């Protein structure tokens, strides 16, 4: 297999879209949810308290607490919380439709890298962890002869198949299994685990690899650690992020998945980061653009300098994990 592109919410942010959970929590769609369920009070309290809201982690915490020895949930709370959850999914979908109606910044780092990879014509597959429609972004970029398959791992607002929730775990109260992603009617099989192992080159664009991501990537990093080095040494991995702060945070997250052995990745693969914060003065980014689109004259770094803060780890609140 050739090249794989994996997209996280930092990609959407860099396009100029306000797709953070914290953006959603300040929206009219969020305010329309106001009710008296215990779940809503928990979520709204977190939204008011936290600058960077992680909605799915709040759902997880609530479902775990509901299963605890000192559970605060009564049988009467379950249907009210379920109704709140379903309305939450609908409101998030409505908000994202409105937020992504804005014209994208086609001069952004995210747009230039995607254009370059597609123009090169060697992408085998794109996996996006975002709810937003990647197909519409590609149409806006006017990429010709595009045939790369796109997998929306957790659904899309395009057909209202958005999957918001938590991963499979025995820690949550079984009465809250309606929050588990794999229980959703929209959840589908994909080949991400297989494709990660087979790909010669993998580009992570705007993905923080935080706690909600490790279900998908923990196996991959263990595979790199234990597979024959003659095979792993041929694999190219590039992580596109904002600066050294987000760089270090991602390494921390990989260490968590990989038993504090991220340094071995540099020995066992062609592993590296691309920082977008310096724009055209970032030599690594310039070299990468030349690598992915050496024959495309209109894809070099923008003369604007590109202050692409959207790929900062703090801004990269994952909407779809």
pLDDT per residue as tens digits for the range 139-161: 888 877 778 899 999 999 999 99
pLDDT band at 321 (very low <50, low <70, confident <90, very high): very low
Average pLDDT score over residue span 43-58: 90
What pTM did the predictor assign?
Answer: 0.87
Query: Which tokens is 195 given?
Result: 């494709």
pLDDT band at 258 (very low <50, low <70, confident <90, very high): confident
Query: Which tokens is 311 given?
Result: 């790929």
Look at the block and give the residue holding tokens 């379920």.
82
Look at the block and give the residue holding tokens 């959703």.
184
Rounded (10°) CA dihedral 79, 85, 87, 89:
-150
Whether residue 50 is predicted with pLDDT greater than 90 in this model: the reply is: no
Long-range Cβ contacts of 215-220 (<8 Å, 24+ apart): 215/167, 216/153, 216/192, 217/257, 218/257, 218/258, 219/193, 220/193, 220/196
Rounded (10°) CA dihedral 155, 314, 209, 201:
90
Q: Which of 47, 43, 45, 79 is nearest to 58 (CA)?
A: 43
Look at the block and give the residue holding tokens 């929050």.
179
Average pLDDT score over residue span 153-180: 91
How large a percentage of the chain has pLDDT more than 90?
47
Contact call for residues 145 and 123 (beta carbons, < 8 A): no
Residue 128: how many other CB atoms lie within 10 Å: 27
Sign of the CA dihedral running 164, 168, 171, 177: positive
Top pLDDT among 276 and 243 is at 243
pLDDT at position 300 is 41
DSSP string for 141-186: HT-SS----EEETT--TTTT----SB---SSS-GGGGGGBGGGSTT
CA 198, CA 194: separation in Å to the nearest integer?
6
State the average pLDDT for the chain. Answer: 84
> Which residues on adjacent β-strands are paired with residue 3?
123, 201
Average pLDDT score over residue span 115-136: 89
Average pLDDT score over residue span 53-77: 88
pLDDT at position 302 is 40
Whether residue 275 is predicted with pLDDT greater than 70 in this model: the reply is: yes
DSSP string for 259-302: TS-THHHHHHSEEEEEE-TTGGG-HHHHHHHHHH-TT-TT-S--
pLDDT at position 292 is 73
Average pLDDT score over residue span 188-213: 90
Q: Which of 30, 62, 113, 127 is nearest to 306 (CA)?
A: 113
Whether residue 39 is predicted with pLDDT greater than 90 in this model: the reply is: yes
pLDDT at position 71 is 80
Top pLDDT among 314 and 90 is at 90
Burial bucket for residue 82 (CB in 10 Å: 0-12, 13-18, 19+) = middle
Whether residue 311 is predicted with pLDDT greater than 70 in this model: the reply is: no
Average pLDDT score over residue span 191-208: 93
Average pLDDT score over residue span 202-209: 92
pLDDT tens, 239-256? Answer: 988 788 989 999 999 888
How large a percentage of the chain has pLDDT more than 70?
88
Alpha-carbon distances of 188 from 132, 135, 166, 184, 185, rounded to whole Å:
17, 19, 15, 9, 8
pLDDT band at 124 (very low <50, low <70, confident <90, very high): very high
Q: Which of 10, 20, 178, 207 is nearest to 99 (CA)?
A: 20
pLDDT at position 310 is 47
């Amino acid at each position: 297999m050739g090249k794989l592109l994996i997209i996280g919410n930092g990609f959407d942010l860099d396009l100029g879209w306000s797709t953070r959970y914290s953006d959603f929590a300040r929206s009219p769609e969020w305010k329309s949810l106001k009710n008296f369920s215990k779940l809503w009070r928990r979520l709204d309290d977190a939204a008011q308290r936290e600058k960077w809201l992680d909605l799915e982690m709040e759902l997880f915490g609530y479902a775990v607490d509901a299963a605890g020895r000192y559970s605060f949930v009564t049988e009467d709370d379950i249907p009210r919380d379920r109704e709140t959850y379903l309305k939450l999914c609908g409101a998030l979908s409505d908000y994202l439709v409105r937020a992504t109606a804005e014209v994208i910044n086609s001069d952004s780092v995210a747009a230039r890298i995607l254009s370059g990879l597609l123009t090169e014509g060697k992408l085998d597959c794109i996996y996006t962890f975002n709810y937003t429609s990647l197909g519409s972004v590609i149409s806006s970029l006017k990429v010709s002869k595009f045939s790369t398959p796109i997998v929306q791992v957790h659904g899309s607002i395009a057909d209202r198949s958005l999957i918001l929730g938590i991963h499979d775990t025995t820690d949550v109260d079984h009465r809250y299994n309606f929050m588990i992603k794999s229980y959703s009617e929209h959840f589908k099989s994909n080949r991400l685990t297989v494709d990660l192992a087979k790909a010669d080159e993998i580009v992570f664009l705007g993905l923080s690899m935080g706690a909600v991501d490790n279900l998908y990537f923990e196996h991959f990093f263990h595979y790199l650690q234990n597979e024959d080095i003659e095979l792993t040494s041929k694999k190219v991995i590039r992580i596109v992020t904002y600066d050294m702060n987000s760089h270090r945070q991602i390494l921390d997250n990989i260490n968590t998945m990989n038993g504090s052995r991220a340094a071995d990745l540099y020995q066992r693969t062609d592993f590296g980061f691309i920082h977008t914060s310096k724009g055209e003065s970032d030599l690594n980014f310039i070299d990468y653009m030349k690598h992915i689109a050496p024959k495309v004259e209109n894809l070099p770094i923008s003369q604007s300098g590109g202050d692409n803060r959207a790929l900062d780890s703090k801004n990269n609140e994952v909407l779809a994990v």
